[in-house]
Amino acid sequence: MELIPGNTLITATPQEGRELALAVARKSIGAIQPDADVRKTLRPGYASDAEALTMAAHVVAVEFATIAAANDYWRNQP
């Protein structure tokens, strides 16, 4: 199972880094709960739960911080 698309955290821009963070977070959830039917069943429960959505956003933020660090914060460009 490929958890890091393209097997690299290096991206050209912060936008690409953010997109990669979303992809990595989604792949991580898929790895944790591999049954797509179960994920689909659970989705309505967290889709309307502000706390659950905030936690999901936090997962993406952590992934983005990791990717940003791997990219030396996009080579320290302003």
- The answer to whether residue 57 is domain-embedded is yes
User: Is 1 inside a domain boundary?
Assistant: no
Residue 58 belongs to some domain of the structure: yes
pLDDT at 37: 96
Within a domain: residue 77? no
What's the pLDDT tens digit per position in 26-70? Answer: 999 999 999 999 999 999 998 999 999 999 999 999 999 999 898
- Backbone CA torsion sign across 38, 43, 44, 48: positive
Q: Is the pLDDT of residue 1 over 80?
A: no
Judge whether 76 lies within some domain. Answer: no
Number of domains composing the chain: 1
Phi, psi of 49 (to 5 degrees): -110, 110
Q: What is the pLDDT of residue 71?
A: 87
Range of the domain at 25: 11-70
